[in-house]
Amino acid sequence: MGSRRIAIINGPNLNMLGRREVGIYGEKNLDQICDEIRHEGEKYDISLDFFQSNVEGFIVDYIHSCVGKVRGIVINAGAFTHYSIALRDAISAVRLPVVEVHISNIYKREAFRHVSFIAPVCLGQICGFGSYSYILGLRALMETLDEADREC
Amino acid sequence: MKKILVISGPNLNLPDTGETSTYKESSLEEIHVRLKKKAAELGMEVDCEQYNSEGDIIDRIQQVPGTYAGVVLNAGALAHYSYSLRDAIGTMRVPCVEVFMSNVHAGEEFRHKSVVAEVCVGTISGFGAHSYVLALEALANLT
């Protein structure tokens, strides 16, 4: 197991991937996507913790529990992205590097999805590349962590 | 070999102001060197260009079909108001990835909205020079 732990968090309805609006989200289910992320993770000296919940409070609890345990987070907060101030506050509170990802291009969709409440407290945002958004998100996070470690 | 055009917009030629100031490591020239290296690794070829004029970028975007398989675009401030750039991208039917070095959502409110995002495959923002590299990887992954 790697020395650095990274948390991969998925929000509401992402457990339905592969069955839900496949035209938007693709045909892969969440387990398949997690396997792809695991495969990418093998390139780095890391271990990955996966968490998915449909409950906003559980995600807040989980983010709090990351303090002291993980080095960074890749999060697809699903629809919570667009309205959960509690999630934003949790991310801001833990002071961990967080990368926001989305499977779909949220800017091509309904206007309410164009705003992300969590984006200002994240390192950055990656959206529109299908399940590959998670892979790019993990790479972005690792680049940031490697850079921070080099500066130490 | 897949050929990709990387375009950077206004003020991105300046080393110490605007977006680049957040990222001390990279001048645009250094980013271009990094992109050429990454492209070679991915079996692609890149042309890297920078323009301060909106019309110059539109001219280049119009020349993309038939020459390039994809575009990486850091439109700089134009992203937030250039409908003509949006129209040019929307017309070309070649995948375009929007990138920003800074986290545009953490800055001034007028930067939170991109008028080009909707006509791009996707957006990558907040990772400094690495945003460009990730965009190249995203294009390499598109079938």
Fold classification of B2-141 (topology level): Rossmann fold (3.40.50)
Please say whether the beta carbons of B34 and B6 come within 8 A.
Answer: no
Beta strand B70-74 with B122-125: parallel, antiparallel or unpaired?
Answer: unpaired
A139 contacts on B by Cβ (under 8 Å): 134, 137
Q: Is A114 a catalytic residue?
A: no
Nearest Cα residue to A123 out of A59, A71, A86: A71
Chain B residues lying within 8 Å of A105, measured CB to CB:
117-118, 120-123
pLDDT tens-digit readout, B39-96: 999 999 999 999 999 999 999 999 999 999 999 999 999 999 999 999 999 999 999 9
In total, chain A counts a number of residues equal to 152
Q: Which residue of A has its CA nearest to B103?
A: A124
pLDDT digits (tens, 9 = 90+) for A117-148: 999 999 999 999 999 999 999 999 999 999 98
The H-assigned helical ranges of chain B are 28-41, 54-62, 83-92, 130-141
Domains of chain A (ranges; CATH) run 4-151 (3.40.50.9100)
DSSP H or E run through B96:
strand B96-100
Mean pLDDT of A97-126: 96
Interface test with A, best of B124, B137, B143 (most A CBs within 10 A): B124
Residue B121 is which amino acid? V
Q: Is A82 a catalytic residue?
A: no
> In angstroms, what CA-CA distances link A64 with A3, A94, B79?
20, 6, 35
| Structure confidence at residue A20 as a pLDDT band (50, 70, 90) | confident
CB A93 within 8 A of CB B103: no
Contact list, B137 vs chain A (CB under 8 Å): 136, 139
The residue in chain B having the minimum alpha-carbon distance to the alpha carbon of residue A116 is B105
Per-residue pLDDT tens for A71-88? 999 999 999 999 999 999
Q: Report which of A124, A98, A33, A9 is spatially closest to residue B135, judged by C-alpha positions.
A: A124
From the list A107, A122, A139, the residue facing B134 with the nearest CB is: A139
Q: Do A125 and B137 touch (CB under 8 A)?
A: no
Portion 49-108 of B in contact with A at CB < 8 A: 103, 105-106
Q: Least CA distance to B137: which residue of chain A?
A: A136
Q: How far is B54 from chain A (nearest CA, A)?
A: 22
What does the alpha-carbon distance between residue A94 and residue A70 come to, in Å, rounded to a whole number? 11
Residue A113 neighbours by CB under 8 Å, 6+ apart: A79, A81, A82, A106, A107
Whether the pLDDT of residue B23 is over 80: the answer is no
CB < 8 Å to A25, chain B: none
In the predicted model, what is the mean pLDDT of residues A42-59?
97
Judge residue B57's burial from the number of C-beta atoms within 10 Å of its C-beta, 0-12 exposed, 13-18 middle, 19 or more buried: buried
